[in-house]
A and B are shown apart, each in its own frame.
Chain A
Amino acid sequence: MKIKAQSTIEFTFATIVIMFLIYGMVQIFRWAGMDLANRRVAQDGALTAGSDPDTQLSTNAGDSVLPLVAVYHGTITNGYGNANQ
């Protein structure tokens, strides 16, 4: 009886943890798909809304990614180079 009870408890704990993991996996699957779909829908919506191409094409709708637009203009002072501008 003691053996069965221990196994049952361990199984219960394991099941709870596994359920959380599976729930997390489902949520991540959902997020992974929705992230792509939302970005696509947002862009399509922006491109078809209104009649001004400048506004339509300049939109960042769905652009959830931080832009890489900067080049560091400070000084790299480790002796290997000088990027001072």
Chain B
Amino acid sequence: MVKIKNKKSQVSAQAGQAAIELAVFGAILIFILGTIVRTAIGNGYAQNDNMKAMRMAMLASWTDSKVSNVLGRGIIAHSNASFIYVEDRLSPDFNKYGDLDRNPFVAQGSGTFSPYLLYPLDPEEVQQNVPIMDVYINGQHFPFTTASYLSKRIIRPACPAGTPQALGGGLSPGQCAENQCLRSAREWAGGTVTAGDFSSVMTGIPLDANTETTSNAYGVAIFNALVAQGFVGGATGVGPITTGYVVTSAYSSIPSNFTIADPMNSNQPLTLTPTEISNIQNVLQKDSFAYKLFYTMAANGSSDFSAGASDTLPDPPFDLQRNNDPTNFVPAGMRPYIAWQWKIVPATSTDSIKLDASNNQYPTYDIDGRLKEVTVYGFQYNSDGTPTVTYEDPAGGDIDSSWDLNSCGPKPGLQNDSQIYTFTKNGTYLQIKEGKLYNIETDQYVRSANQRDTIDLIQRSVQLSNNTGRFCDSSGRPTAIVEPCADESTCEATGQYNDGKCSSGNGTCVFNAVEICVAESSPTDNCFTSANIAQTCYDTSDNMLFIRSRLEDRRGRFWMTDTSGQMSIK
């Protein structure tokens, strides 16, 4: 009996083994099938977005080239177009309510399809041709400019006295802005100076053996050198200048091996011994015009102002942060390997800054102490000694394309955090009906109904660098973005301003996906109040753009048994 029991037990175990194996391996296979399906669909989404981004970038480049600008030429805002697509797609899943999870797909495409690749802009065209980066987030179109075109009168900045702090990303935005102000104020030159200012302060300075002149003559020579180089202006052609006004300056990066001649000996580059530098520093007060001018002259091109003897002495060209902190200077041993250095340029005329519009020569300068160079398209020297500069600023667009750790604002662009909310009440729902529901009219049994009608609200935030007024006007309302378009193109179908069509001929598209503007964020008025939480909102107080995508998902299945062929009781 015992044997039989054991045998039956063995029989039972063996009989179930195949079923268990089938269940286990079948489950594994089905899991693998599901994974393949999900991965394949995800790859399809990604590939589709990548190809679409490339096509749209090339199409934008091509379309812009056919639109006439103010001079009857093509637009180059999208010549090197860049499109970014962000789409939150449903991921295949087996749930009671169907697919619920959304996966973000991000694709970036660039394309160039324009005959205006090397087209030199004229000043009147620049405003219409600032580069644009297009971002599409769940179908909402945000054309962000990556530069701005401005005209600004450069004046001596008003900021408290002090020395600019070292940069490097450790400064708060307020400290950083003050840093720039201090740098600009410190480098701003203006006022009247005489040759006597220099000759007097040079008195007593021991000169080296090569300079066979008096210290007084040496100071006059420095003054004359400043006049010759344009840092001191005044009456010309009427004999030696003995007094003049100090001109405003701009900074430009130049090759590091640039040198200037010694004002006392044009056959030699300007090199001063550490003793000479030290004596000059002791005599010249740092805030005096004379010191600034001397500093300026040295910054004009001395490749090694301290003659390499000591790194603790000022060496303006290698003061790359321009805060006069010797600890931040490029070490002497590294200077031969540095590709550039700052050079100060007198800003008194178009000639002095090498601006030549007739030959499309538009120089780049740092004009306001930000350590960022801009392209100068226009220059006017005012009677009060201040220049008005018209320039294209790569840091002035919606997105600062030149942002680095030395920039004062936060890092611009799409932020890492995103949030998703699903609205399912009062008009939107997730619903399941199961069981029998006999319809006497149709003789049908409804077995299962699965319906959903939901709104997925997905929030993303984009940090902008500047409020350019393209999305919100000064009165706190969304601005109608107007962009030129070719007559055969179709406008984007997003935004409350959108008309969906390009007007005939070389017309315009009018759109703006921003729905709410908040000027001063407060507890009662911000992008998160009950009235604003679901809408795309731009907070101009910190230039944060909250993009709220509202994706409607209305799907379902309805399965029933057909009983029309069966007997029924009427």
Kindly list chain B residues whose C-beta atoms are within 8 Å of the C-beta of A7. Answer: 14-15, 18
User: Does B534 contact A82, Cβ atoms closer than 8 Å?
Assistant: yes
Residues of chain B within 8 A (CB-CB) of A64 are 44, 48
Q: Given the known A-B contacts A39-B51, A80-B533, are A21 and B515 also in contact in the complex, defined by CB atoms under 8 Å?
A: no
Write out the residue numbers on chain A whose beta carbons fall within 8 Å of the beta carbon of B455. 72, 76
A35 CA / B40 CA spacing, docked (Å): 8
Cβ–Cβ < 8 Å partners of A45 in chain B: none
A32 touches B18 (CB 8 A): no
Residues of A within 8 A of B531 (CB): 81-82
Q: Would you list which residues of chain A between 13 and 67 have a CB under 8 Å from chain B? A: 13-14, 17-18, 21-22, 24-25, 28-29, 31-32, 35-36, 39-40, 43, 47, 53-54, 57-59, 62-65, 67
Contact residue among B22, B37, B515, B549 (Cβ-Cβ distance under 8 Å from A85): B515
A25 in complex: contacting residue of B14, B33, B43, CB < 8 Å:
B33
Q: Which residues of A contact B140 (CB under 8 A)?
A: 71
Of all chain B residues, which has the CB nearest A28?
A: B36
Given A18-B25, A80-B423, A3-B113 contact (CB < 8 Å): no
Contact with A along B511-534 (1 / 0, CB 8 A): 001010000000000000011111
B501 → chain A closest CB, angstroms: 15
CB neighbours of A39 from chain B (8 A): 44, 47-48, 51
Q: How far is the CB of A36 from chain B (nearest CB, A)?
A: 6
* Known contacts A53-B62, A58-B59, A63-B48, A3 near B37 by CB under 8 Å: no
Per-position 1/0 for B129-145, Cβ under 8 A of A: 00000000011100000
Nearest-neighbour CB distance to chain A for B113, whole angstroms, equals 7
B78 at interface by CB-CB < 8 Å: no
Chain B nearest CB, measured from A7 CB (Å):
6
Are A25 and B496 within 8 A (Cβ)? no
> In the bound complex, do residue A10 and residue B427 qualify as a contact, i.e. CB atoms below 8 Å apart?
no
Q: How far is the CB of A2 from chain B (nearest CB, A)?
A: 8
The distance from the CB of A38 to the nearest CB of chain B, in whole angstroms, is 10
B110 to chain A, nearest CB (A): 14
The 8 A-B residue pairs whose C-beta atoms are closest, nearest first, are A81-B534, A32-B40, A10-B18, A72-B550, A57-B59, A69-B139, A78-B425, A14-B22
In the complex, are the beta carbons of A32 and B22 less than 8 A apart?
no
Q: Chain A nearest CB: distance from B159 CB in Å? A: 43
B530 and A54 contact, CB distance less than 8 A? no
Q: Can you name 17 extra interface pairs (CB under 8 A) apart from A76-B550, A78-B424, A82-B531? A: A3-B14, A10-B18, A18-B22, A24-B33, A28-B33, A43-B51, A47-B55, A53-B113, A54-B59, A62-B51, A63-B52, A71-B513, A75-B427, A76-B423, A78-B423, A80-B421, A81-B532
B62 contacts A67, C-beta separation under 8 Å: no
Measured CB to CB, the nearest residue on chain A to B22 is A14
Between A and B, 19 residue pairs with Cβ closer than 8 Å are: A10-B18, A14-B19, A18-B29, A21-B29, A28-B37, A35-B40, A43-B51, A54-B59, A54-B63, A57-B58, A57-B62, A58-B55, A63-B52, A67-B139, A70-B551, A78-B425, A78-B428, A82-B534, A83-B535
Specify which of A21, A25, A65, A71 lies most central, judged by the most chain B CB atoms within 10 Å of its CB: A71
Across chains A and B, the number of contacting residue pairs, with CB separation under 8 Å, is 152
Q: Which residue of A lies closest to B490 (CB)?
A: A58
Q: Are B551 and A72 in contact (CB under 8 A)?
A: yes
* Distance of A32 Cα from B552 Cα, bound (Å): 28
Name B7's closest neighbour in chain A (CB-CB). A3
User: Is B444 an interface residue when CB atoms closer than 8 A count as contact?
Assistant: no
- Residues in B with CB closer than 8 Å to A17 are 22, 26
Taking the complex as formed, is B283 at the interface, i.e. its CB lies under 8 A from any CB of chain A?
A: no
Residues of A within 8 A of B (CB): 2-3, 6-7, 10-11, 13-14, 17-18, 21-22, 24-25, 28-29, 31-32, 35-36, 39-40, 43, 47, 53-54, 57-59, 62-65, 67-72, 74-83, 85
Instruction: Tell me the nearest residue of chain A to B494, going by C-beta.
Output: A71
Give chain A residues whose Cβ lies under 8 Å from the Cβ of B19. Answer: 10, 14
Rounded to whole Å, the gap between the CB of A46 and the closest CB of chain B is 9
Q: Is the CB of B423 within 8 A of A28?
A: no
Q: How large is the interface on B (under 10, 10 to 19, 20 to 34, 35 or more residues)?
A: 35 or more
Whether B139 and A14, one on each chain, are in contact in the complex, defined by CB atoms closer than 8 angstroms, is no
Q: Which residue of A lies closest to B496 (CB)?
A: A85
CB-contact partner of A21 in B30, B39, B550, under 8 A: B30
Q: Once bound together, how far apart are the Cα atoms of A64 and B522, in whole Å? A: 45
**Distance A39 CA – B46 CA, assembled complex (angstroms):** 12
**Given A14-B22, A85-B496, CB of A25 within 8 Å of CB of B36:** yes
B437 at the interface (CB under 8 A from A): no
Contact with A along B5-37 (1 / 0, CB 8 A): 000000100110011011001100110110011
Q: A76 touching B534 by the CB < 8 A rule?
A: yes
Chain A residues, CB < 8 A from B122 = none
Chain A hits for B424, CB < 8 A: 78
Knowing A18-B22, A53-B62 are in contact, say whether A80-B87 is a contact too (CB < 8 A): no
Give the distance in Å from the alpha carbon of A69 to the alpha carbon of B30 in the complex. Answer: 34
Contact in complex: A32, B139 (CB < 8 Å)? no
> Would you call A70 and B37 a contact (CB within 8 A)?
no
Residues of chain B with a CB closer than 8 A to A36's CB: 43-44, 47
Question: How far apart sit A6 and B535, CA to CA, in the bound complex (Å)?
Answer: 66
Determine the distance from Cα of A74 to Cα of B550 in the docked complex, in whole angstroms.
10
Chain A residues within 8 Å of B138, by CB: 68, 71
User: Are A83's CB and B534's CB within 8 A?
Assistant: yes
Please give, as numbers and ranges, the residues of chain B lying within 8 Å of A2 by CB-CB distance. Answer: 11
Q: How far is the CB of B77 from chain A (nearest CB, A)?
A: 17
Q: How far is the CA of A83 from the CA of B44 in the complex (A)?
A: 32
**Which residue from A14, A29, A74, A83 sits with its C-beta under 8 Å from B21?**
A14
Pick the contact of B62: A18, A54, A65, A69 (CB < 8 A): A54
A35, B44: Cβ atoms closer than 8 Å: yes
A25 to B30 alpha-carbon distance, docked (Å): 9
Q: B18: which A residues are within 8 A, CB to CB? A: 7, 10-11, 14
Distance between Cα atoms of A82 and B535 in the complex (Å) = 8
Among A11, A68, A76, which residue has its beta carbon within 8 angstroms of that of B551?
A68
Residue of A nearest to B528 (CB): A81
